[in-house]
Structure 1
Amino acid sequence: MPRSSTSVRRSSCPRRPPEPPGPTRLSASTTRPFYASPGLNTETYDVRTAHDLVAQGLDRDVAFYIEEAKRTGGPVLELGGGTGRVSWALAEAGFDVVLLDLSEAMIERAEAKRSAEPGAVSARLRTVRADMSDYALDRRFQLAIAPFRAFMTLVTAEDQRRCLDTTRRHLESGGRLILHLFDPRLDLLVGEGPPNPDRGSVRHPVTGNDVRIAVLSRSVDLLRQVFEERWRFAESTAEGHLVREEEEVLRLRWTYRYEMRHLLELTGFEVEAEFSSFDRSPSVYGREQIWVSRAL
């Protein structure tokens, strides 16, 4: 995008040389929602997620979605597709994919990967900026997926139902929907403060600097089944100089298994399978909820 320029009238008075810039900080009053704007969170998402998926035993998720797409055929709709981690893998596997996400910053990260893909693969992926609870596309799909807990960013039961209703309308009769949520562990939800405040550090993929992540606070609404966490991202040089410090707020709604099954049945889906891992393990309390449902 071209930038506008402004002219500055020069003064005959000598000026002191500018001081080196200090670190960029976002104060608590400017704390923004997760992924809402470009910044350290979106810039490090892929490297953090690669580590988190392995640490949590979820690194077979892409292979799982490709297997399911081979079973159903395409095209595939990804809800909350973010940087395209799953969508690009599906496109590389030969499927036409629409990646839908509300965050412009995340879609920009997905689009930045396009130049590295062959033309045929690039042509198979389309990105759309939209709310997963209220969207209208010009095609129907054989498979819709919401990987890595994207469905949990819908923090009211009403938004969850709208998402399922809307997605059902975008599926062919008999099309499949796959949702991935975590199964709520009550011992972690009712405790004081975040259960894991130090989230470690990653290397920034562009600057090479260290980016340390911490969860500063957590509040839990047990009635609405929503928790809110304030995260801090701090980028520092090898010498320890702070370059940037940003805070973002993550809000997620947890959903119990019986509740999720009821929501699916209420919105015109038949549950075909329920797993607790991407190895297709049976349901286990406190692990994952992976739902495979068929549109009626």
Structure 2
Amino acid sequence: MEQVNVYKNSAHLYDLDQRDLVTADIPFYLGYAGKFGGGILELGCGTGRIAIPLAEAGYDITALDLSEDINGCLACMREHLNDGGIVIINVFRPFGTLDESWCYPETVQWERWDDATGSKVVKKHWGQRIDIENQIIYPGFAYEVMANNEVVERFADNLALKYYYYEQLTKLLQDAGFRIRKEYGWYDKTPIENGRELIFVCIR
């Protein structure tokens, strides 16, 4: 079976993304780490953009990535969670309606200069298809490395992303035995109904 969501071609360029989507969460998690202490497990750690700042701040953190079974993952987290510990779950909030409008042609998302190489990098993305019944979208993205206004390298990957609505995610958490302690819509603790994310702070 084809592997997706592994960023196998483009991981080395992922951290060029400077949108608030990939920076606003670090102070949020540092704040919770300072409040609760103890060991930290990050699932879905990607390039380590959250795990590394936590480790640099002196926290004992284990970071893992790539799990296909959300129910098994939640059950395992609950089983190994220390008394008094918390689990924080965050996912994108689906915007609009999951329909064919999520399929779209290749579009430029941003342009950046890579300080490590001195090259200009252009990120593009597109929507390939959608499985409406199962709430899965299949986007693709590519990083193009430029020189003299020409593409000299292109690194592309495909994703399969399942979206959960608020009611679905709260049921998953409750069925796994968690109690939801706090809900936020963004990392500044915006109310969940007004934010771009679904963030749940849970206890056993």
Q: What TM-score does the superposition give when structure 2 sets the normalisation length?
A: 0.88
Note if contact 1:211-1:236 (Cα within 8 Å) is conserved in structure 2: yes
Residues 1:160 and 2:127 are matched in the alignment: no
Which residue of 2 is the match for residue 35 of structure 1?
6
Q: Kindly state the Cα deviation for residue 98 of structure 1 after the two structures are TM-superposed.
A: 0.5
Which residue of 2 is the match for residue 278 of structure 1?
187
Partner Cα separation in structure 2 for residue 241 and residue 196 of structure 1: 17
Match of 2:53 among 84, 89, 92: 89
After TM superposition, the structure 1 = structure 2 runs for residues 11-90 of structure 1, keeping only pairs within 5 Å, are: 33-37=4-8, 39=9, 41-48=10-17, 51-53=18-20, 56=21, 59-90=23-54
Q: Kindly state the Cα deviation for residue 200 of structure 1 after the two structures are TM-superposed.
A: 2.0
Partner Cα separation in structure 2 for residue 233 and residue 71 of structure 1: 38
Distance 1:184 1:276, change over 3 A: same
Partner Cα separation in structure 2 for residue 290 and residue 195 of structure 1: 30
Which residue of 2 is the match for residue 243 of structure 1?
152
Which residue of 2 is the match for residue 218 of structure 1?
128
- Stretches of structure 2 that go unaligned for 5 or more consecutive residues are none
Partner Cα separation in structure 2 for residue 245 and residue 93 of structure 1: 35
Larger-gyration structure (1/2): 1
* Counterpart amino acid of residue 47 in structure 2: T
Identity percentage over the alignment?
A: 29
Q: Kindly state the Cα deviation for residue 189 of structure 1 after the two structures are TM-superposed.
A: 4.8
Match of 2:64 among 97, 100, 115: 100
Distance 1:204 1:34, change over 3 A: farther
* Counterpart amino acid of residue 87 in structure 1: A
Partner Cα separation in structure 2 for residue 91 and residue 181 of structure 1: 23
* Counterpart amino acid of residue 294 in structure 1: I
Note if contact 1:182-1:286 (Cα within 8 Å) is conserved in structure 2: no
- Stretches of structure 1 that go unaligned for 5 or more consecutive residues are 1-30, 103-130, 132-153
Note if contact 1:232-1:245 (Cα within 8 Å) is conserved in structure 2: yes
SS in 2 for 1:172: coil
Q: Kindly state the Cα deviation for residue 261 of structure 1 after the two structures are TM-superposed.
A: 0.8
Q: Kindly state the Cα deviation for residue 293 of structure 1 after the two structures are TM-superposed.
A: 0.3
Which residue of 1 is the match for residue 165 of structure 2?
256
Partner Cα separation in structure 2 for residue 273 and residue 166 of structure 1: 21
Partner Cα separation in structure 2 for residue 52 and residue 196 of structure 1: 19
Q: Kindly state the Cα deviation for residue 205 of structure 1 after the two structures are TM-superposed.
A: 4.0
Distance 1:216 1:64, change over 3 A: closer
* Counterpart amino acid of residue 60 in structure 2: D
Partner Cα separation in structure 2 for residue 278 and residue 189 of structure 1: 28
Which residue of 2 is the match for residue 200 of structure 1?
110
Over the aligned positions, Cα root-mean-square deviation in angstroms equals 2.3
Q: Kindly state the Cα deviation for residue 100 of structure 1 after the two structures are TM-superposed.
A: 1.0
Q: Kindly state the Cα deviation for residue 259 of structure 1 after the two structures are TM-superposed.
A: 0.9
Q: Kindly state the Cα deviation for residue 217 of structure 1 after the two structures are TM-superposed.
A: 3.3
